[in-house]
């Protein structure tokens, strides 16, 4: 897809994506390479990038935004050469993606996410990982999930960190270091506002690059799709492409 879009870039004024976060993720590399602005008509289940950008979820209203043509630069995240808009994560989120089939997403929507999350929680186990920041300092953690956010929203409306924005030139990392999975329920209400980092069992870091290593390769979830594995180098590209926004 990227090669085809790049080849046709000279004939186009913009790249138009109709779908959810996985769909717009698939055109990220082409937009980065060609410099073409990206318009998005949300038609997915979670539509987290649309929420971050303040796009209307109604397709007709989103089309009017595209016709108006207002553009703004946003950051892109990258993991081992693959771009992402919202969040790259490993651990619990990978189990969630594995449990959440495309059929259940279409049929049940957010209820499908909730059911898949409960099943993933039942199987979740802590794992060890080494996190290295841009200053070279390494932290070894025992965690249920490590998530690195480029944008603000993920997982159907959750917030990476209460101050996170998709144009701040920074990545926001959190690590869920609960010894018992059930304790996650005690902070469940803080994820929609990004205040989960206030818990003493949630480690938060901010920076422009993180390296994450695990004892064995672990798959990485990027914008709802399994794309790559550890060891991972996560980097931010500030103002990397232009999105059409309200």
d(CA 86, CA 76): 9
Burial of 3 (0-12, 13-18, 19+ CB in 10 A): exposed
d(CA 173, CA 89): 9
**Bridge partners, 206 (sequence order):** 172
* CA atoms within 13 A of residue 31's CA, in its CB half-sphere: 28
* 134 labelled catalytic: no
d(CA 37, CA 244): 7
Classify residue 172 as left (phi > 0), alpha (psi -120 to 50) or beta.
Answer: beta
d(CA 129, CA 243): 34
CB atoms within 10 A of CB 111: 10
Token pair for 87: 């969040």
> Which of 165, 177, 201, 225 is the catalytic position?
225
Q: Which of 246, 244, 191, 193 is nearest to 54 (CA)?
A: 246
Active-site residues, by number, are 225
């Amino acid at each position: 897809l990227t090669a085809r879009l790049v080849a046709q870039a000279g004939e186009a004024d913009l790249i138009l994506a109709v779908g959810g976060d996985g769909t717009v993720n698939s055109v990220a590399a082409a937009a980065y390479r060609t410099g073409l602005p990206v318009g998005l008509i949300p038609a997915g289940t979670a539509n987290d990038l649309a929420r971050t950008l303040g796009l209307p979820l109604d397709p007709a209203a989103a089309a009017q935004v595209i016709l108006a043509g207002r553009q703004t630069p946003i950051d892109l995240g990258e993991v081992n050469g693959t771009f992402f808009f919202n969040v790259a994560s490993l651990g619990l989120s990978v189990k969630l993606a594995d449990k959440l089939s495309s059929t259940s997403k279409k049929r049940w929507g957010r209820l499908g996410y909730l059911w898949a999350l409960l099943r993933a929680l039942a199987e979740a186990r802590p794992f060890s990982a080494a996190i290295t920041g841009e200053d070279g300092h390494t932290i070894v953690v025992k965690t249920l999930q490590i998530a690195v956010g480029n944008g603000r929203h993920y997982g159907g409306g959750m917030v990476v960190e209460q101050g996170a924005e998709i144009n701040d030139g920074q990545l926001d990392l959190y690590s869920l270091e609960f010894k018992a999975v059930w304790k996650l329920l005690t902070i469940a209400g803080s994820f929609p506002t990004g205040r989960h980092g206030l818990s003493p069992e949630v480690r938060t870091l901010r920076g422009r690059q993180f390296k994450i290593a695990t004892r064995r390769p672990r798959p990485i979830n990027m914008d709802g799709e399994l794309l790559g594995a550890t060891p991972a180098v996560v980097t931010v590209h500030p103002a990397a492409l232009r999105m059409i926004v309200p």
